[in-house]
Amino acid sequence: MFRRSSVIRYAVATAAALTLSTMVAARASAQGPAVSQPIQARADVAAALTVSGTDLSFGTVFQGINKTVAPSDLTAGRFAVTGAASSGVNVTWTSVPTVLTNSVSGTTMPIGSWTGCANGVSDGSAAGGCTTSINFAGTTAATLSASGELYIFVGATVQPAATQAAGTYAAPVTVQIAYNGL
Amino acid sequence: MRIASALCAGLLVLWTGARSLEGQTTNTVNASAVLGVQLRVRGLSDLDFGTVVAGTNKTVNIQAPPADATPGQFSIDGEKNATVLLAFNFPAVLLSASGKTLAIGSWTGCQSTSNSVASCTPFVFGTPLNLRPNNGKLWVWLGATVSAPITQAAGSYSGTVQMTVLYTGL
């Protein structure tokens, strides 16, 4: 009996040693060296678009006589756009009035025949050379200049009725500019 | 008589076995170690946000990034079916050449045992991941969000994303 007991103890001891060896080996492997590698995170920031406006002024008009302001006239409406150099933008009109309104009486004066053009050269007038015709009914694609500028000139014709009431008439013209190539 | 002989033979065997334990004896076990495959990490693709307009945020969604953007990508090679832990060093800002900063955050991760972003599974940073059972490979993609205020200076911004991989189970 004593000898059989020795055999069993020996076997148990051997098994324990093997188990320990296995555990030690596993722990050693788990402590292998860490490896690392970098990548870059990149972004190109484009300047935000800005738009400023100068009113379109018809000046004094007379009953029954149409008056037109061309885009090249000094009193044409003007939008100055700034943004990322040489980038493409979409020009969309969100408000193109068909009448001007007297804010006191509420009476209106028809306005129509909108015309417009754009260039990236001069904010003084369209005479500097308009390169893009404006589509007031839809979207016009245009390109900012190498210095990130675009100027949009707007003209129209007012049609005062023969019985048009005297007074001041006005309406907003609103343009929306959005990048189309970024 | 045959029964008595059989008993004697049995006793002899037992006695012989017992005798062998009384003297010196030796036994051998093997000490063995298997050298696991060394981990290898490669940066396959930068995390590229493309153009960000000042005044807007832009997110690189890993599986549906903007048209001009790409998620970052790493590949890992190691022991088949091993468990690994990924540790990341994420920048809080990207820098321009002039030292201006662009905020970056909201990091996301996606992993797959095949090199296909379409089949990747989002994972939580700090969660152990398993390498592919039959070849020990794993691919990891990263996305994030940059936030450019309206006053953000135009220009190119960049930063380093470091991924460290460690075995945690074989």
Measured in angstroms, the CA of B25 and the nearest CA of chain A are apart by 12
CB A180, CB A88: distance < 8 Å: yes
User: Can you give A98-120 as a three-state secondary structure string?
Assistant: CEEEECCCCCEEEEEEEEEEEEC
The one-letter code for the residue type at B81 is N
Which pLDDT does position B162 carry in this prediction? 97
- What is the C-alpha separation between A9 and B162, in angstroms, rounded? 53
Lowest mean pLDDT among A112-121, A132-141, A166-175, B93-102: A112-121
Q: Distance (Å) from the C-alpha of residue B112 to the closest C-alpha of chain A? A: 18
Q: Taking residues B1-30, report their average pLDDT.
A: 52
Q: Is the pLDDT of residue A56 over 50?
A: yes
Minimum Cα–Cα distance from A32: chain B residue: B167
The per-residue pLDDT for range A133-176, each reduced to its tens digit, is 999 999 999 999 999 999 999 999 999 999 999 999 999 999 99
Q: Do B170 and A41 touch (CB under 8 A)?
A: no
pTM value surpassing 0.80: no
Q: Tell me the DSSP string of chain B.
A: -HHHHHHHHHHHHHHHHHHHHHS------------PPPPEEEEEE-EEEEEEETT-EEE--TTS--TT-B-EEEEEE-STT-EEEEEEE--SEEEETTS-EEEEEEEEEEEESSS-GGG-EEE-TT--EEPPTTT-EEEEEEEEEEE--TTPPPEEEEEEEEEEEEEEE-
Residues 30-59 of B with CB under 8 A from A: 31-34, 36, 38-55, 58
Q: What is the pLDDT of residue B22?
A: 54
At A112 the pLDDT is 82
Q: Which helix (H) or strand (E) holds A39?
A: strand A35-46
How large is the average pLDDT for residues B56-67? 96
How high is the ipTM of this complex?
0.77
Cα separation of A10 and A13, whole Å? 5
Residue A160 distance to chain B (closest CA, Å): 43
- Mean pLDDT over A77-106 rounds to 93
